């Protein structure tokens, strides 16, 4: 019997693949730290029954058209804006993502970034390491308080809720804005639903947790930043495309908002000359929201399990609906 062909578009640990070696004919991109070349992915998709990709791989109409026997695109990420979902659906290709397994780790990182940006942790760390610490003074490295302040969460999905949960431990008031109201979250977390503009106006911290879609592209633009408090801290661990980076730059430069903590950017990866990296009030991270070993292993495992199920004619565990 011929085995289904599975293409893994990033080198992943052998221990995760070995349970499937007898069932599948596996081809794998040989590098862990380099994304697959588009032509290679195109070629592989022409022969594969299943592909395992990461968020750096853009799967558009052209690539889907080249896939003659593809049944599943398993994305190792909860976000799936790198895939033309509608077209895949039209062509009968199942798309899966990796929700749940990364919720808590991503919420941890989001909260860490909020703390770091507000209490100037990275700046202080650089200061001491550069040997600049000579004395203590009243307003030295003074940041902004987090406890008892108002947190505004835009996009109250699983991760948004997990961030709200952490905020309760800091005695914060939580506002949220979402496509639909979440009465369970309101009850459980005391979160208050408000309109987008009301959230921007009243929050001390605005956290973007919404997926990138046509509707949320550039959601955080000039007007949004102007509506925020001058003391507001903006945090984004979702997707860079939700933010107009030029507008954010202006808002941070001119003092329209106080600071930003950014884990994601419009065009990743960014180099050290990126304008936002030139600002002292920006704390930046290289898209590491879910980056713990445990969570990344869980994500890889889940993507492989989805492939396994679909190739066996079963329903995927976490299909994108
Ligand atoms: C995702 O899963 O979408 C994150 O951005 C990476 O973990």
pLDDT tens, position by position, 156-209: 999 999 999 999 999 999 999 999 999 999 999 999 999 999 999 999 999 999
In-domain check, residue 321? no
In-domain check, residue 318? no
pLDDT in tens, 99-157: 999 999 999 999 999 999 999 999 999 999 999 999 999 999 999 999 999 999 999 99
Q: How far is CA 146 from CA 5, 116, 118, 210, in A?
A: 51, 11, 7, 22
Considering the domain architecture, whether residues 62 and 200 belong to the same structural domain is answered as no
pLDDT in tens, 259-278: 999 999 999 999 999 999 99
The pLDDT of residue 107 is 98
Domain of 13 in residue numbering reads as 5-101+293-311
For 207, the enclosing helix (H) or strand (E) is strand 205-208
The pLDDT of residue 67 is 98
Considering the domain architecture, whether residues 164 and 205 belong to the same structural domain is answered as yes
Considering the domain architecture, whether residues 112 and 171 belong to the same structural domain is answered as yes
Residue 301: pLDDT over 90: yes
Q: How many angstroms separate the CA atoms of 210 and 236, rounded?
A: 9
- Residue 239 is among the residues annotated as catalytic for this protein: yes
In-domain check, residue 163? yes
Q: Would you say 219 and 210 are in contact if contact means Cβ atoms under 8 Å apart?
A: yes
Q: Which atom of ligand 1 is nearest to the CA of 98?
A: 2
In-domain check, residue 64? yes
Distance 186 CA to ligand 1 centre (A): 25
Q: Whose CA is nearest to atom 6 of ligand 1?
A: 77
The pLDDT of residue 19 is 98
Residue 317: pLDDT over 90: yes
* Active-site residue (options: 120, 166, 177, 287): 287
Q: How many angstroms separate the CA atoms of 319 and 321, rounded?
A: 6
The structure tokens listed for 16 are 């995760």
Considering the domain architecture, whether residues 185 and 271 belong to the same structural domain is answered as yes
Among 100, 52, 56, CA closest to 75: 52
Pocket-testing residue among 52, 76, 289, 292, ligand 1, by greatest number of atoms within 8 A of Cβ: 289
* Active-site residue (options: 166, 239, 296, 309): 239
Considering the domain architecture, whether residues 152 and 216 belong to the same structural domain is answered as yes
The pLDDT of residue 1 is 78
Considering the domain architecture, whether residues 46 and 152 belong to the same structural domain is answered as no
Considering the domain architecture, whether residues 138 and 91 belong to the same structural domain is answered as no
Distance 308 CA to ligand 1 centre (A): 21
Q: How far is CA 174 from CA 78, 119, 240, 309, in A?
A: 24, 20, 23, 39
Task: State whether the beta carbon of 77 lies less than 6 angstroms from ligand 1.
Answer: yes
Q: Whose CA is nearest to atom 4 of ligand 1?
A: 77
In-domain check, residue 319? no
Pocket-testing residue among 76, 82, 102, ligand 1, by greatest number of atoms within 8 A of Cβ: 102
- Residue 187 is among the residues annotated as catalytic for this protein: no
The pLDDT of residue 204 is 98
User: What CATH number does residue 49 fall under?
Assistant: 3.40.50.720
Considering the domain architecture, whether residues 90 and 57 belong to the same structural domain is answered as yes
Considering the domain architecture, whether residues 135 and 192 belong to the same structural domain is answered as yes
Q: How many angstroms separate the CA atoms of 150 and 174, rounded?
A: 6
Three-class secondary structure of residue 276 per DSSP? helix
In-domain check, residue 316? no
In-domain check, residue 271? yes
Considering the domain architecture, whether residues 189 and 95 belong to the same structural domain is answered as no
Q: Can you tell me which residue has the tokens 């030029």?
A: 246
- Residue 256 is among the residues annotated as catalytic for this protein: no
Beta bridge partners of 282: 260
Task: State whether the beta carbon of 235 lies less than 6 angstroms from ligand 1.
Answer: no
Split into its structural domains, the chain has a count of 2
Residue 86: pLDDT over 90: yes
Distance 1 CA to ligand 1 centre (A): 37
Considering the domain architecture, whether residues 180 and 269 belong to the same structural domain is answered as yes
In-domain check, residue 93? yes
Alpha helices (H) in the chain, listed in sequence order = 14-17, 38-45, 61-66, 85-90, 103-119, 121-129, 158-169, 183-189, 196-202, 222-227, 245-253, 293-311
Considering the domain architecture, whether residues 147 and 92 belong to the same structural domain is answered as no
Task: State whether the beta carbon of 76 lies less than 6 angstroms from ligand 1.
Answer: no
Q: 103-119 and 121-129 helices cross at what angle (nearest 10)?
A: 60
């Amino acid at each position: 019997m011929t085995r289904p062909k599975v293409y893994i578009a990033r080198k992943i640990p052998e221990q995760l693949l070995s349970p499937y070696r007898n069932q599948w004919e596996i081809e794998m991109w040989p590098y862990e730290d380099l994304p697959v070349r588009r032509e290679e992915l195109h070629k592989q998709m022409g022969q594969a029954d299943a592909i395992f990709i990461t968020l750096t791989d853009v799967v558009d109409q052209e690539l889907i058209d080249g896939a003659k026997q593809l049944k599943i695109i398993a994305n190792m990420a909860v976000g799936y804006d790198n895939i033309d979902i509608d077209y895949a659906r039209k062509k009968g290709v199942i798309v899966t993502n990796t929700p749940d397994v990364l919720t808590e780790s991503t919420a941890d990182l989001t909260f860490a970034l909020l703390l770091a940006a507000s209490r100037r942790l990275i700046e202080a760390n650089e200061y001491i390491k550069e040997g600049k610490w000579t004395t203590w003074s009243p307003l030295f490295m003074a940041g902004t308080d987090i406890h008892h302040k108002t947190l505004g969460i835009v996009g109250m999905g699983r991760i948004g809720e997990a961030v709200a949960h952490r905020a309760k431990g800091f005695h914060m008031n939580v506002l949220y804005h979402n496509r639909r109201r979440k009465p369970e979250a309101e009850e459980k977390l005391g979160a208050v639903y408000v309109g987008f503009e009301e959230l921007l106006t009243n929050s001390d911290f605005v956290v973007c947790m919404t997926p990138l879609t046509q509707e949320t592209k550039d959601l955080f633009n000039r007007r949004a930043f102007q509506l925020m408090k001058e003391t507001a801290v903006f945090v984004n661990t979702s997707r860079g495309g939700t933010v107009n980076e030029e507008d954010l730059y202006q808002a941070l430069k001119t003092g329209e908002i106080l600071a930003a903590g950014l884990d994601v950017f419009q065009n990743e990866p960014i180099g050290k000359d990126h304008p936002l990296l030139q600002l002292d009030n920006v704390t930046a991270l290289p898209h590491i929201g879910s980056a713990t070993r445990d969570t990344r292993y869980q994500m890889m495992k889940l993507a492989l399990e989805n492939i396994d199920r679909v190739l066996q004619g079963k329903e995927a565990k976490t299909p994108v609906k």
